[in-house]
């Protein structure tokens, strides 16, 4: 019987899952999978580590597939593999921990009720994250469930870093800057602490650049500032999200365009950012391949906002020892990285452009006042590590472990 930790990231129409074996103080990823099309024509796909991807379409004759049916299929798959699956813990990605949760927490009815009260803070994510929890409790009734929050890493910010210039009563009721991508930032910091302990004790900015994008300022291991705020709309422009926006624009859309809250939500979350500016795609690869001026302008806007926010967070830190680039764009988009980092010598960033082109781990020149690294993030492994630690399966469990 193999002891397993399952991680779950549940959305409105999909569930991503990972499976880890925990043995002899190590986490080893066994599989990564996804169920797409929940609520409609659903498809199960899984790839075992070192193996080929396999999958199948769900039988729709018994009705639409919901989160419970999807996770029951994950359990069936686990039981069909090898000598049996002993799921000793299930870790969930939960977007919002509100002003309360600064650490992962074991889920029970009282915690779930509190997390449901945060649904107005993240209406596009929180309800579906919690639907995944309910489904996992049914699929794995004997396994403890753990919530790991995207906001938790930022919960020790000062009042100044968290507040908006609104009447204080709004802050007290929860209208504040929460920050997101915390699981990614925490994973990167653990890697730094493990591999670059001197840098980890210094002033670090991590740029999580992907379809969702943000920056985080970390001082001596603690988040002190983030570009995302009350929601995951704020800060940098993203694949389909607008990033920083004058709130007067929202008032204009309401008053002059007669747009409803639902229409504005759809515009700002799904049809803005790189997709909206270019009119072509939210995919950086497609934009780089395009000859359209709008594609170049969208990328240039993205680059300028990243540069501006690196400067702002550096001022908040009082200097910069290390810049880490991660996420799909940060790890792979050579030309975008170059544009972000070129002509930054005045700022203490001296780039080795050949190393950047080769996607090397260190892309700053030797002797650069600021060390620039490319590190691969792994939010699923961070969730698995948190789950193992909270359940006392192994302390401390520092990724990456094989």
Which is the catalytic residue, given 150, 234, 321, 378?
150
Residue 76 designated active-site: no
Long-range contacts of 310-316 (CB under 8 A, 24+ apart): 310/205, 310/207, 310/215, 310/340, 311/347, 313/205, 313/215, 313/216, 313/217, 313/225, 313/227, 314/203, 314/205, 314/217, 314/347, 316/161, 316/217, 316/224, 316/225
> Which residue, chain included where needed, has tokens 């699929």?
139
- Mode of pairing for the β-strands spanning 26-36 and 14-23: antiparallel
Place of tokens 């210039």: 165
Tell me whether strands 222-226 and 145-149 are parallel, antiparallel or unpaired: unpaired
- The position carrying tokens 């670090």 is 204
Q: How many CA atoms lie less than 13 Å away from 201 in the CB half-sphere?
A: 2
Is the distance from CB of 223 to CB of 217 less than 8 angstroms? Answer: yes
Q: Which residues are annotated as catalytic?
A: 150
């Amino acid at each position: 019987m193999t002891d397993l930790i399952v991680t779950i990231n549940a959305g409105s129409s999909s569930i991503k899952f990972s499976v880890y074996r925990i043995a002899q103080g190590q986490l080893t990823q066994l599989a990564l999978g996804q169920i797409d099309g929940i609520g409609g024509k659903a498809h199960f796909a899984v790839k075992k580590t070192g193996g080929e991807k396999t999958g199948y379409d769900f039988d729709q004759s018994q009705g639409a597939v919901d989160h419970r049916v999807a996770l029951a299929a994950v359990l069936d798959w686990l039981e069909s593999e090898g000598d049996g699956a002993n799921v000793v813990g299930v870790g969930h990605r939960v977007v919002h921990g509100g002003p309360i949760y600064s650490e992962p927490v074991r889920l029970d009815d009282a915690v779930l009720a509190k997390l449901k009260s945060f649904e107005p803070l993240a209406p596009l994510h929180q309800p579906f994250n919690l639907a995944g929890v309910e489904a996992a409790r049914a699929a794995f009734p004997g396994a403890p469930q753990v919530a790991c929050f995207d906001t938790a890493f930022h919960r020790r910010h000062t009042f100044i870093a968290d507040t908006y210039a609104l009447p204080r009563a709004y802050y007290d009721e929860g209208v504040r800057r929460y920050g997101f991508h915390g699981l990614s930032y925490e994973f990167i910091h653990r890697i730094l602490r493990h591999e670059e302990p001197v840098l980890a004790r210094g002033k670090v900015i991590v740029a999580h650049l992907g379809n969702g994008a943000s920056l985080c300022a970390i001082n001596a291991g603690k988040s002190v500032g983030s570009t995302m705020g009350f929601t995951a709309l704020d800060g940098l422009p993203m694949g389909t999200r607008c990033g920083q926006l004058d709130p007067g624009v929202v008032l204009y859309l309401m008053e002059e365009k007669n747009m409803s809250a639902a229409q504005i939500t759809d515009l700002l979350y799904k049809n803005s950012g790189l997709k909206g500016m270019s009119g072509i795609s939210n995919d950086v690869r497609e934009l780089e391949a395009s000859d359209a001026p709008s594609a170049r302008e969208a990328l240039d806007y993205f680059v300028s906002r990243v540069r501006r926010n690196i400067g702002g967070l550096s001022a908040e830190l009082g200097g910069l020892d290390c810049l880490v680039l991660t996420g799909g764009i940060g790890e792979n988009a050579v030309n975008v990285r170059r544009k972000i980092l070129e002509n930054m010598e005045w700022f203490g960033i001296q780039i080795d452009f050949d190393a950047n082109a080769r996607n090397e781990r260190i892309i700053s020149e030797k002797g650069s006042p600021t060390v620039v690294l490319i590190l691969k993030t792994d939010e699923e492994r961070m969730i698995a590590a948190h789950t193992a630690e909270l359940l006392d399966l192994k302390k401390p469990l520092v990724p990456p472990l094989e």
